[in-house]
């Protein structure tokens, strides 16, 4: 047996790497004792992140407690694998840091189903996120195992991932190839594989104590674990990629990118993505660039370029000036290039052997608890037309269903701030922006009145000011200032709630506690953001509740993606109408007397069918 010793928080800990039959007997008796004492920490090392790609390898499975870790070399063959499998079956409670990753890996490569692992798991990353959801660059501890261990367990805890990156380099490997290529026997690799579970085992009780001390309800912790499981379920199911469509799409986008890059080259711009050379070329053509970026450089983003090209942001001709041909070529080349690289290429890159992509669905990504989707980032596909979404399909024989909450953040604001007249509007089933416009401007309120009031409403939810609201809606600052005043008179509870929430946060160390018990740290220099945090985080919890309700309704296997205020599902064509009704029901409930409602739309086979063409 290979063993390694290391100091953690003043204790000597041991990492065991079993090789022989006797070693496995010792592992087995250790596991039986550990399992009787309490939860067992679990982790995996793998060849990388593309869990479902051909050639992906599970390399080691680690088990541990506060003093001992056992690194099982899964990659070495059947004897090692059956020991790991038996251990996975035997343990009653697991502690995992970032469980969704290991759940997915073990489900796909070790025959340990998500359905078995997840209910037995407590995730230290989720717990840490409920204590402080900020990223390190936002001033938080972060939710990585290294920063959390350094903060809560031992300031000298090694940076197991960062140090290994150095070792990869010394072996002639990169961050991308290192996890697959490092020899299984490498001492540091094994030591760190073991330390990760030991640190997780030590972290978990500390985080539990902290959650208790700060009054975070165990129900909220449990709720987050259920949502994480549902998100991993969605990842495992994945979405069908229409490969031949993507190939064709890629060719078309590449052609457009090249063609307009050639046009730009005629005006001396060799690289359309180089903002500095582009700004110089435009100035050289006699254009006046006035807007600056944060660091003082001349701004040449889509808004600036569209104005020069005499185009609206949607690409329609404005007929306000002579179009600048360079600006137009750059817009088109950059757009095609981005759509190719960010979407078409990634779809093909992450596809499994069966033609599906399996995005990571991070159940608690943003400071407000909002979810995010990566590899590929399916929450941010262009929605202006169906071109990109057309590449993703419902399951065979299925159609896509999208169900959106209706104006959920406005409803949440009405509920949380207890806005009397706004609640009346929602209870009467009104479109809230028309409702506001009529209350303020009378029965003759116009479309333009509604637009201004909608802008004012959004500003309340975002904590924005008159100037930005005017810019966003295209209204004059005077008109917007009047709308703000009318809004405040009509719904005075919003300002009162904002002041109350800021005061509450101030009194508890700049942490606002949401209606669902989520701890939301505020930045000292923009406490006004508390209104947005309150609304965005509770809207997120409405979506979380919807996911639980959808599972309860028996539709878990149809779920594809959460998109902030929307659930995307794939349902058998003949059941689609029933499924759509059931999802609407799952997304309809009461929030402090304000109705939260949702509307489903049934599409065709492709996601794109919900955005235009009927396919």
Supply the minimum distance, in Å, between the C-beta of residue 382 and DNA.
4
Query: Does residue 370 belong to the site contacting DNA (CB under 7 A)?
Result: yes
Burial tier of 10 (Cβ tally within 10 Å: 0-12, 13-18, 19+):
exposed
Q: Which CB, 158 or 337, lies closer to DNA?
A: 337
- 517 touches DNA (CB under 7 A): no
The verdict on 613 binding DNA (CB under 7 A) reads: no
Evaluate the CA torsion angle 75, 63, 44, 199 in order and state its sign. Answer: negative
Q: Phi/psi zone of residue 85: left (φ > 0), alpha (ψ -120 to 50 degrees), beta? A: alpha
Nearest to 488 by CA among 552, 547, 422, 538: 422
> Does 472 participate in binding DNA (rule CB under 7 A)?
yes
CB proximity list for 160: less than 8 A, separation 6 or greater: 145, 146, 192, 195, 196
Number of neighbours of residue 374 by Cβ within 10 angstroms: 16
User: Which among 85, 94, 65 is positioned nearest to 196, based on CA atoms?
Assistant: 65
Q: Which stretch binds DNA (CB under 7 A): 73-81, 95-103, 271-279, 504-512?
A: 271-279
Residue selected from 295, 314, 319, 322 as contacting DNA according to rule CB under 7 A: 295
CB of 495 to DNA, least distance (A): 11
Residues linked to residue 561 through DSSP beta bridges, in sequence order:
568
Among 93, 116, 91, 90, residue whose Cα is nearest residue 103:
116
Contacts to DNA from residues 58-117, by CB under 7 A: none
547 near DNA, judged by CB under 7 A: no
Contact 82, 89 (CB under 8 A): no
DSSP string, 589-615: EEETTEEE-EEEEE--SBGGGGGSS--
C-alpha 66/C-alpha 28 separation (Å) is 17
**Matching residue, tokens 């979404």:** 389
CB of 422 to DNA, least distance (A): 17
Nearer to DNA, 303 or 613 (CB): 303
How far apart are the C-alpha atoms of 225 and 121, rounded to whole Å? 8
User: Which C-beta is closer to DNA: that of 8 or that of 419?
Assistant: 419
> Which of 95, 368, 549, 606 is the binder for DNA (CB under 7 A)?
368
Does 532 participate in binding DNA (rule CB under 7 A)?
yes
Binding residue for DNA (CB under 7 A) from 381, 547, 586, 594? 381
| Per-position x/- string for 554-583, each x denoting binding to DNA as judged by CB under 7 A, each - no binding | ---------xxxx-----------------
Q: Does 383 bind DNA (CB under 7 A)?
A: yes
Distance of closest approach, residue 565 Cβ to DNA, in angstroms = 4
Span of 141-149, 208-216, 320-328, 334-342 interacting with DNA by CB under 7 A: 334-342
Q: Which is nearer to DNA, 119 or 136 (CB)?
A: 136
Contacts (CB under 7 A) with DNA, residues 296-325: 296-297, 299-303, 305
Piece of 189-197, 366-374, 417-425, 548-556 that binds DNA (CB under 7 A): 366-374
- Separation of alpha carbons 458 and 446, rounded Å: 18
Pick the stretch among 3-11, 28-36, 62-70, 272-280 that binds DNA (CB under 7 A): 272-280
Q: Which two tokens stand for residue 212?
A: 């208790």
Asked, as a colleague might, if the bond just before 533 is cis with ω within 30 of 0, I would say: no
* Residue 201 or 469 with smaller CB distance to DNA: 469
Using rule CB under 7 A, residue 25 touches DNA: no
Among 3, 35, 374, 448, binds DNA (CB under 7 A): 374
Q: Judged by CB under 7 A, does residue 541 bind DNA? A: no
Site for DNA in 135-154 (CB under 7 A): 135, 138
- The per-residue DSSP string of 520-558 comes to EEPPGGGGGGHHHHHHHHHHHHHHHHHHHHHHHTT-GGG
Does 346 contact DNA by CB under 7 A? yes
116, 90 in Cβ contact below 8 A?
no
Q: Is 273 in the site for DNA (CB under 7 A)?
A: yes
Supply the minimum distance, in Å, between the C-beta of residue 290 and DNA. 13
CB of 62 to DNA, least distance (A): 26
- In the complex, least distance from residue 345 CB atom to DNA, rounded to whole angstroms: 7
Spatial CB neighbours of 519, under 8 Å, sequence gap ≥ 6: 130, 131, 132, 133, 214, 216, 511, 512, 513
d(CA 15, CA 406): 53
Q: In this structure, how many other beta carbons lie within 10 angstroms of the beta carbon of residue 224? A: 21
- Of residues 245 and 533, the one with the C-beta less far from DNA: 533
Token duo for residue 403: 């169900």
Beta partners for residue 240, in sequence order: 356, 393
Residue closer to DNA (CB basis): 14 or 275? 275
Sites of contact with DNA (CB under 7 A): 135, 138, 271, 273-277, 293-297, 299-303, 305, 331, 334-335, 337-339, 341-342, 346, 362, 365-368, 370, 372-377, 379-384, 458-459, 461-469, 472, 525-529, 532-533, 536, 563-566
């Amino acid at each position: 047996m290979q063993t390694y010793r290391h100091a953690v928080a003043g204790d000597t800990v041991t990492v065991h790497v079993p090789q022989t039959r006797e070693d496995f007997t010792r592992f087995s008796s250790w596991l039986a004792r550990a399992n009787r004492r309490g939860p067992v920490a679990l982790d995996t090392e793998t060849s990388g992140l593309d869990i479902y790609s051909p050639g992906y390898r599970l390399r080691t499975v680690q088990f541990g407690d506060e003093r001992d870790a056992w690194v099982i070399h899964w990659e070495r063959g059947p004897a090692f694998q059956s020991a790991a499998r038996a251990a996975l079956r035997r343990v009653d409670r697991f502690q995992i840091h970032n469980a969704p990753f290991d759940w997915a890996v073990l489900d796909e490569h070790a025959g340990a189903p998500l359905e078995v692992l997840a209910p037995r798991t407590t995730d230290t990353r989720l717990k840490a996120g409920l204590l402080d959801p900020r990223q390190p660059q936002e001033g938080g501890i972060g939710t990585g195992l290294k920063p959390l261990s350094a903060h809560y367990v031992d300031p000298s805890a090694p940076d197991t991932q960062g140090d290994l990156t150095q070792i990869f380099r010394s072996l002639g490997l990169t961050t991308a190839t290192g996890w697959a290529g490092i020899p299984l026997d490498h001492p540091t690799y094994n030591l760190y594989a073991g330390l990760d579970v030991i640190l997780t085992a030590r972290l978990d009780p500390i985080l539990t104590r902290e959650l208790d001390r700060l009054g975070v309800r165990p129900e909220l912790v449990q709720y987050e674990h259920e949502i994480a499981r549902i998100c991993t379920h969605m990842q495992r199911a994945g979405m069908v990629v229409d490969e031949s469509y993507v190939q064709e799409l890629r060719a078309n986008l590449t052609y457009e990118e090249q063609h307009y890059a050639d046009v730009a080259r005629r005006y001396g711009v060799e690289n359309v993505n180089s903002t500095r050379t582009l700004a110089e070329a435009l100035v050289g053509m006699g254009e006046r660039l006035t807007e600056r970026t944060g660091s003082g450089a001349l701004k040449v983003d889509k808004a600036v370029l569209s104005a020069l090209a005499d185009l609206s942001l949607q690409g329609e001709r404005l007929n306000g000036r002579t179009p600048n041909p360079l600006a137009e070529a750059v817009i088109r080349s950059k757009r095609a290039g981005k759509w190719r690289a960010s979407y078409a290429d990634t779809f093909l890159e992450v596809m499994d052997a069966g033609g599906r992509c399996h995005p990571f669905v991070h159940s608690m990504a943003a400071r407000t608890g909002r979810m995010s989707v990566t590899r590929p980032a399916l929450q941010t596909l262009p929605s202006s037309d169906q071109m990109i979404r057309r590449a993703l399909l419902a399951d065979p024989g299925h159609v896509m269903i999208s169900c959106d909450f209706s104006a959920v953040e406005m409803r949440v604001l009405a509920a949380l701030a207890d806005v009397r007249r706004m609640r009346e509007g929602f209870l009467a089933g009104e479109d809230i922006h028309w409702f506001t416009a009529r209350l303020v401007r009378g029965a003759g309120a116009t479309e333009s009145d509604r637009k201004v009031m909608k802008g004012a409403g959004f500003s309340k939810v975002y904590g924005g000011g008159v100037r930005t609201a005017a810019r966003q809606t295209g209204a004059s600052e005077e008109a917007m200032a009047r709308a703000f005043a009318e809004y405040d008179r009509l719904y005075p509870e919003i300002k009162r709630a904002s002041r109350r929430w800021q005061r509450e946060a101030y009194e508890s160390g700049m942490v606002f506690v949401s209606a669902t018990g989520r701890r939301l740290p505020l930045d000292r220099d923009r406490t006004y953001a508390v209104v947005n945090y309150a609304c965005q985080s509770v809207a997120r919890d409405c979506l979380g509740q919807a996911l639980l309700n959808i599972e309860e309704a028996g539709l878990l296997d149809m779920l594809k993606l959460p998109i902030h205020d929307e659930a995307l599902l794939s349902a058998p064509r003949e059941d689609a109408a029933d499924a759509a009704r059931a999802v609407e029901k799952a997304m309809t409930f009461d929030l402090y007397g304000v109705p939260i409602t949702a509307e489903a739309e049934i599409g065709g086979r492709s996601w794109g069918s919900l955005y235009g063409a009927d396919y």
